[in-house]
Amino acid sequence: MFKLGVDADLKAAFEKNIELWEDGTEASLTAQSETKVLLAKAIKGATGEKKTVLSKIVELQDYLSQKSVWIIGGDGWAYDIGYGGVDHVISTGRNVNILVVDTEVYSNTGGQASKATPIAAVAKFANAGKKIGKKNMGFMCMSYGYVYVASVSMGANRAQTQKALQEAAAYNGPSIVFCYAPCINHGLNMRFSQVEEKKAVDAGYWPLYRFNPEAEEGKRFVWEAKEPSVDYQDFIQGEIRFSSLRKTNPEHAEELFKKSEDDAKKRMDFYKKLGVTM
Ligand SMILES: Cc1ncc(C[n+]2csc(CCOP(=O)(O)OP(=O)(O)O)c2C)c(N)n1
């Protein structure tokens, strides 16, 4: 194409685009959009074979931009029935991004328990309260060492959520972001789901962290939840999925509520300690 007399600016833009292709930074995005602008300009004055070639490039210009590819699914899929696939995809080292919208139940099919359901929550197949703890899937993903992993809760910290999504997109390898998502099956007023997301973090129920394999040694894991400022039991009693346990399993409800708190504490502590080691 350059032999057909393409102007120097467009030639330079193409070269820069190729040079920065894998870069993933603002500079590469700017180079990609500049190429398109110059291409549109060049085609206006073009004739003959040059016009034919430039038209073909314009037709295919979507390929001049790096795509941020995201796989989005729920906890039932990611932690449970689709786990083998998710694990395989992240293990390959390919540049894919995964967003897990964690409602802690299979929401779409009516609220069945998944491996993401925490102790004491009432869900279908766990009517007397889930007896075993939530799977530490973030930890399992981090164990590869080359997977970007973050846990976010938008209502608790929007800036942290945005940072995690941007870092995940920019990381040239597999990334997975676990996002806390209140759901109608939790038995709460969905108008306040953002407030509930904040409470979950303030009660020490949901962790906020980022694990970035690209950061320098010792700074790869960042714990971003503050020390709990909301009583854990107050938080869970605000949701019918927990409070209804007194009806469905009155004999063991209190014991399971206590277990739920202990398990959450253990999980937070484990993540923090693991982060230091990673
Ligand atoms: C392999 C497979 N098994 C079962 C289903 C049926 N199914 C459709 S939606 C759904 C629930 C998914 O739950 P989750 O992944 O947590 O997403 P949410 O509904 O909470 O957004 C299931 C089991 C399916 N689509 N594919």
Domains and CATH numbers, the chain: 2-64 (no CATH), 70-277 (3.40.50.970)
**Inter-axis angle of helices 48-59 and 26-45, nearest 10:** 140
- First-residue to last-residue Cα distance in the chain: 49
Nearest-CA residue for ligand 1 atom 4 is 81
- pLDDT reported for residue 2: 61
% pLDDT > 90, the chain: 82
Helix, strand, coil shares of the chain as percentages rounded to 5?
50, 15, 35
Q: Determine whether 261 is exposed, middle or buried from the number of CB atoms within 10 Å of its CB (0-12, 13-18, 19+).
A: buried
pLDDT of residue 21: 83
CA-nearest residue for atom 2, ligand 1, is: 81
- The answer, yes or no, to whether residue 164 has pLDDT greater than 80, is yes
Please tell me the distance between residue 188's alpha carbon and the centre of ligand 1 in angstroms: 22
Q: What is the pLDDT of residues 184-219, one digit of tens each?
A: 999 999 999 999 999 999 999 999 999 999 999 889
Q: Is there an atom of ligand 1 within 6 Å of 238 CB?
A: no
pLDDT value of position 278: 83
Q: Between the CA atoms of 88, 90, 91 and 94, what dihedral angle is there, to the nearest 10 degrees?
A: 110
Residue 266: per-residue pLDDT? 95
The whole-angstrom separation of Cα 176 and Cα 147 is: 7
Q: What is the mean predicted confidence (pLDDT) over 168-175?
A: 94
* Residue listed under structure tokens 């197949």: 125
Question: In angstroms, what is the span from residue 109 Cα to ligand 1's centroid?
Answer: 7
Choice from 99, 109, 178, 185 to test ligand 1 binding pocket (greatest atom count within 8 A of CB) = 109
The yes-or-no verdict on residue 175 having pLDDT over 90 is: yes
Question: Would you place residue 25 in the very low, low, confident or very high pLDDT band (cuts 50, 70, 90)?
Answer: confident
- pTM: predicted TM-score of the whole model, two decimal places: 0.88
Say if ligand 1 is within 6 A of residue 81 CB: yes
pLDDT band (50, 70, 90) for residue 45: confident
Q: Are 151 and 208 in contact (CB under 8 A)?
A: yes
CA 71 to ligand 1 centroid distance, Å: 14
The residue-averaged pLDDT of 148-164 equals 98
Sheet with 97-102, side-by-side order of all strands: 70-74, 97-102, 175-180, 148-152, 209-211, 221-223
Residue 203: its pLDDT value, please? 98
75 C-alpha to ligand 1 centroid (Å): 9
What confidence score (pLDDT) does residue 174 get? 97
Separation of alpha carbons 6 and 30, rounded Å: 20
